[in-house]
Amino acid sequence: MGLGNPGAGYRKTRHNAGFMLLDGMVEGRFGRGIEIRRGAVESVKNFFGIRQKFHKGSGLYTDLEVEIKGTDILLVKPNTFMNESGKALTSLRTGGRLKELADLLVIMDDVDLEIGRLRIRQKGSAGGHNGMKSIIDALGTDEFSRLRIGVGPRPSGSDMVEYVLGTFRPDEWDEFTRSLENAAEVVEAWVDGGFDQAQNELKKLQSTKN
């Protein structure tokens, strides 16, 4: 599940890092192992919001079934605003589409990580992220995997809401895009071999950068 706010006005804001990663993977710009099922054109259009205008209350989530490295995966974007992201997971669990929390990876922005950095964890607090707080409250646990994409650091004294709902400066965009390319590799490793493989892939990517 990638986190973000629905609607064209939020499309390239820092808070929409999760959405941007999933959209880029579906478009083929990030990652190497994703396959979209034949006949899924309309579903893809809906996933990108081309045909479907996202509004609060228009549905709890948009999903797209894909295959990553031979494994069937459901990509999900909440249709609620960020602070109600947990409603989508409640619906997925109630509907039987998410049976085990071991099958859940939440992809989110992180203002405490500088642009270009990634972090993957198997559990942890919301860390002040309203979307993650909503998900933890909805699930009743913080023991699920999450991939954090750096969009910071937030300048000292700046307003948090204005910062996360702001867009990237031109000099930040290239570094952010490279981090999404790496994030796609980590997601594919997580699908292929679970948390340990994803963590090892991230360590390899970070050591190469350094």
Active site residue 15: yes
Structure tokens at 35: 């396959």
From the list 14, 15, 77, 133, the catalytic residue is 15
How much is the pLDDT for 51? 57
pLDDT in tens, 118-153: 999 999 999 999 999 999 999 999 999 999 999 999
Q: Is the pLDDT of residue 106 over 50?
A: yes
Tens-place pLDDT, residues 58-92: 479 999 999 998 899 999 999 999 999 999 999 99
Beta bridge partners, 2, equal: 107
Cβ-contact 198, 190 below 8 angstroms: yes
Residue 118, strand partner residues = 149
Going along the chain from its start, the domains and CATH numbers come out as 8-209 (3.40.50.1470)
CA torsion sign for 129, 191, 97, 20 is positive
pTM of the predicted model over 0.85: yes
Tens digit of each residue's pLDDT (9 = 90 or more) over 157-204:
889 999 999 999 999 999 999 999 999 999 999 999 999 999 999 999
Alpha carbon separation from 179 to 97, 149, 176 (Å, rounded): 29, 7, 5
118 three-class SS: strand
CA dist 191 and 189 (Å) reads 5
Give tens-digit pLDDT for 92-101: 999 999 999 9
Separation of alpha carbons 134 and 130, rounded Å: 6
